[in-house]
Amino acid sequence: METVSLNRSHGGVQGVYRHPSSATGTAMTFSVFVPDHAPGTRLPVVWFLSGLTCTHANVTEKGEYRAACAELGLIFVAPDTSPRGDGVADVPEYDFGQGAGFYVDATETPWSAHFHMRSYIEQDLPALIAAEFPADMARQGITGHSMGGHGALTIGLRNPDRFRSISAFAPIVAPSQVPWGRKALAGYLGDDPAAWRAHDAVALIEDGARVGELLVDQGDSDPFLAEQLRPELLAAACRDAGIALTLRMQPGYDHSYYGISTFMADHLRWHAARLG
């Protein structure tokens, strides 16, 4: 693991790191904030998965999470959204290819060579975090924004024993039913919609995935709300499954980090209460 940068912040350390990933076959960059803590203490971890076009840097620079993490004693991990570099497949469009990994393991060429973001988030990077940071991997929560909200919901629903808390900001809740998701899932996984269901929060719930509760914040002025995000589909699925969903429609907020930074501390307190 290579240290790219270290900065003191709120009494803790904000680091950016790079490592060779066995999942993607590329170098991957991620950031970790570790609050001040007593020697030997293991701290709970909150994962933040970012959205389309983003890297680790978007939330690291604009998420405004460090004060709350320092107060609550939370490690904050922000991975990249896709493999990158020479030889990694890409397209000009913003909603597919590099920067748009959708947290799936691609099976279609040329994407299957490197686009294994599900394995990266579920296996590869957690092993590194456990080995290199004072993380209590028995106490993990996950959240994310937009495409990353989709990732947080689906990864959390598939791994309920690993993640004690799951939240999201403006998530793509049913990618099988919206343009962003249909394009990505077909491109990475093929044309059979049955293969998409493990990567769709609403479909996972319909197929029996269960967690106790979810927290979602969604701006009602989000330009992607009606066509791409569809939180009402998640609300219906959770109601039918008996999952306690707190869906907060925030008046006047859009899809940007202005909204994420506004409600970030609320989410972190919510996670901390469940992580102990």
DSSP, collapsed to helix, strand or coil, labels residue 164 as strand
Query: Which CATH number is 112's domain given?
Result: 3.40.50.1820
The residue segments making up the domain with residue 244 are 2-275
Model confidence over 154-174: pLDDT tens digits? 999 999 999 999 999 999 999
Query: For 99-110, what is the mean pLDDT?
Result: 98
What angle is formed at CA 125 by the lines to CA 124 and CA 127, rounded to 5 degrees?
70
pLDDT band at 70 (very low <50, low <70, confident <90, very high): very high
Q: What's the confidence (pLDDT) of residue 89?
A: 98
What phi and psi, each to the nearest 5 degrees, are found at residue 76?
-120, 120
Tokens of 14: 């904000």
Closest residue by Cα to residue 151 from 206, 85, 80: 80
Amino acid at 50: S
Catalytic residue among 217, 222, 267, 271: 222
Count the domains in the chain.
Answer: 1
- Cβ proximity of 219 and 170 under 8 Å: yes
Catalytic residue among 21, 31, 82, 146: 146
Amino acid at 61: E
Is residue 222 part of the annotated active site? The answer reads yes
Alpha-carbon distance of 200 to 197, in angstroms, equals 5
Is residue 146 part of the annotated active site? The answer reads yes
pLDDT band at 126 (very low <50, low <70, confident <90, very high): very high
Tokens of 162: 């690993």
Is residue 136 part of the annotated active site? The answer reads no
What phi and psi, each to the nearest 5 degrees, are found at residue 156?
-65, -45
- Give the CA count within 13 Å in the CB-facing half-sphere of 208: 0
Catalytic residue among 116, 145, 150, 255: 255
211 CA to centre of own chain: 17
Q: What's the confidence (pLDDT) of residue 171?
A: 98
What is the chain's Cα-based Rg? 17
Q: What's the confidence (pLDDT) of residue 133?
A: 98
Strand partners, 34: 13
Q: What's the confidence (pLDDT) of residue 92?
A: 96
